[in-house]
Structure 1
Amino acid sequence: MSQKNYRRAALTGGLLTVMLSLAACGGAGQPATAKVDPDCVPKHEFPTITEGVLSVAAFNSPPKFHALSNSGPFEGVDAELISLFAEENCLTVEFKPMTGPAAQLDLKDGKSDMMGGLILKSEARGEIFGQSKGYITYETVGITSKEGYNSVDDLKGKKVGLISGSTYVAPAKEALGAELVEEYQNDVNAFEDLTAGRVDALVWQTMQGTFHSSTNPEFGTEVIEEDADYPILTGLLENNWPHTKDVPEFTAAIDDFYERVKEDGTAARVLEENGLENSDFYINGR
């Protein structure tokens, strides 16, 4: 699929109205303290830090995942998909909303079983975390700006903001110059600086960009065309759920879930309910 005309004008109201409670085997919408049905038969079995609980360090960034507090409500793509994954494996899920860098550290330190928020797969992350063989969605970089920048070359000499810890930080610094790259701990602060004119553009996943540009009509998010000179910045990458390393049955359970929700239409439904109407791009790529 060509990206030339792929530009999100606005997100639907579904993102902020989808209110998700923590899921147990008895069904979605139950409170966090709900007991798992004793008759529940898990689709897969794998060890977790706390028996019967899936602890998730969730990168708090809509529309991928969003919560106002640790007690919820929990919204977004991964709030629903991870809840469904926990449900079918007879686990209650504990979401711990935090920034991306904090979530990576939480998982690395063994305080969580999984990281949520649709995280890009990378070789570096694979050295530390378990990564699925497949993917839940594809992603590529979007440039959010007032001027409509749509290429790496457009950003040369500009002040550019990125989310700290993201896959794009190192290649952006190499391509644009480290002195022109500003790192942010969260997407809200990054977009505030863009609207205030402290940076000229933001380089981040298209899901983040389309959400934030939909809240301010002065800014748009453009998807960069693939450029062989900048393979990481412009290539199609895979989103997954980083998880405890060297637990093959955990990885297999995630991969099996990914395949089924893409095949049966669940993934497309969840994307569309969260305002990502072009679900085909995220599921099948260009």
Structure 2
Amino acid sequence: MFRRTMAGLATAVLATAALVACSNYDSDSVAEDCVPEHEFATDTDGILKVSTYSLPPYSEVLDRELSVDGTAFTVGGTLTGVDGDILADFAATECLEIEVHSTAAGAVLSTVQAGGADVGAGNWYRTTERAEILDLTEPIYADQVAIISPDGVSDFAQLQDKRVGTVVGYQYVADLRDYFADGLVLYNSPLTMFRALEDGDIDAAVDTVGVGREFTKENDLVVEAAEPFDQVSASLEPGQSAFVVQQGDDDLLAALNATVDRLRESGRLAEILEENGLDPSAAEPGEPRLIDG
């Protein structure tokens, strides 16, 4: 959901080497007679290393295990959320054990690029910048824009002359600034934005359906999918989420795409989205496209 920058994070790359030495792999969890659906290589035979960060309901790591050299990097635990459920299905059909590498959001992509993980997960948008340095799967789901307010507003036009908040770095900041001008208030994180909304400092917040529902579980704020609005392009064409892999890892990319296609065609992808509090219609993200950034 962020248009996150690709600034190099040296600590991420260095920590990756330490993570490789740690593993929560249990060879007994994959049946001896398991036959994978596709042929591809992973960094460690029998293990799918997934680099991710905490962004519920898309990705969340439960029961984190080993901290690496006192850093925020951990290895182990169970990956949950939409991306976790999809990758669990993928791993089961490909006879793999998932090894979760948890890190900061800004370090996920550089970890995959450096070869420290096979796959990057966590609602990563398909962008031109990422496509230059990584390979992206076909669109998995659409990240639908939402308006969160006390009264359940879904039309951006109803918020004109109101104070509206969003988060620095989101793809729709420029459009919202053009439309709301001085009425737009930027925050460094969804947490601070939703606190401001609860306190009445702003009249509404703009985020995604998933994040909105996550932050309104314990209050009376209402999350509404934004109606299409010409002046906010993301309401017309929401960001498309993808998994990321190293450039040239064509066999792994093809296997991931095949799993997503199968889940979509069977209806299971829509079920996963709904089970995680998202609109099942997001399982139809439209034709592949890249957004700037």
Q: TM-score, normalised by structure 2?
A: 0.71
Q: In the alignment, which of 54, 61, 75 is matched to residue 67 of structure 1?
A: 61
Q: In the alignment, which of 202, 205, 214 is matched to residue 205 of structure 2?
A: 202
3-state secondary structure, aligned to 1:117: strand
Provide the rounded CA distance (Å) in 2 between the counterparts of 1:57 and 1:262.
24
The unaligned stretches of length 5 or more in structure 2 are 1-22, 66-76, 287-293
1:78 to 2:83 alignment: yes
Matches within 5 A, 1:97-108: 97-108=102-113
1:74–1:256 distance in 2 versus 1, CA, 3 Å: closer
Q: In the alignment, which of 135, 138, 145 is matched to residue 141 of structure 1?
A: 145
8 A Cα contact 2:145 2:207, kept in partner: yes
3-state secondary structure, aligned to 2:215: helix
1:41 maps to 35
Post-superposition CA distance 1:172-196 (Å, at most 9, x none): 45655699453435x4454344334
Q: In the alignment, which of 114, 117, 121 is matched to residue 122 of structure 2?
A: 117
1:103–1:144 distance in 2 versus 1, CA, 3 Å: farther
Which stretch shows the higher mean deviation, 174-183 or 139-148? 174-183
8 A Cα contact 2:120 2:243, kept in partner: yes
Provide the rounded CA distance (Å) in 1 between the counterparts of 2:97 and 2:257.
20
Shift of 1:93: 0.9
The unaligned stretches of length 5 or more in structure 1 are 1-30
8 A Cα contact 2:147 2:225, kept in partner: yes
Matches within 5 A, 1:129-278: 129-133=134-138, 135-153=139-157, 154=159, 158-162=163-167, 165-169=169-173, 171-172=175-176, 176=180, 180-184=184-188, 187-197=190-200, 200-217=203-220, 219-276=221-278, 278=279
8 A Cα contact 1:77 1:270, kept in partner: yes
Shift of 1:251: 1.7
Paired amino acid for 1:43? E
Compute the RMSD of aligned alpha carbons: 3.1
What percent of counterpart residues are identical? 26
Post-superposition CA distance 1:114-161 (Å, at most 9, x none): 22233322223222321123x222222112233544344526663523
Paired amino acid for 1:205? T
Provide the rounded CA distance (Å) in 2 between the counterparts of 1:173 and 1:243.
34
Shift of 1:85: 0.8
Provide the rounded CA distance (Å) in 1 between the counterparts of 2:39 and 2:80.
26
Alignment length, in residue pairs? Answer: 250
Provide the rounded CA distance (Å) in 2 between the counterparts of 1:248 and 1:59.
24
Post-superposition CA distance 1:228-280 (Å, at most 9, x none): 3332354233222122222221221111111101112221332233334x41x
8 A Cα contact 2:273 2:283, kept in partner: no
2:68 maps to none
3-state secondary structure, aligned to 1:57: strand
Provide the rounded CA distance (Å) in 1 between the counterparts of 2:247 and 2:179.
32
Which stretch shows the higher mean deviation, 166-175 or 121-130? 166-175
Larger radius of gyration: 2
1:194–1:51 distance in 2 versus 1, CA, 3 Å: farther
1:91–1:221 distance in 2 versus 1, CA, 3 Å: same
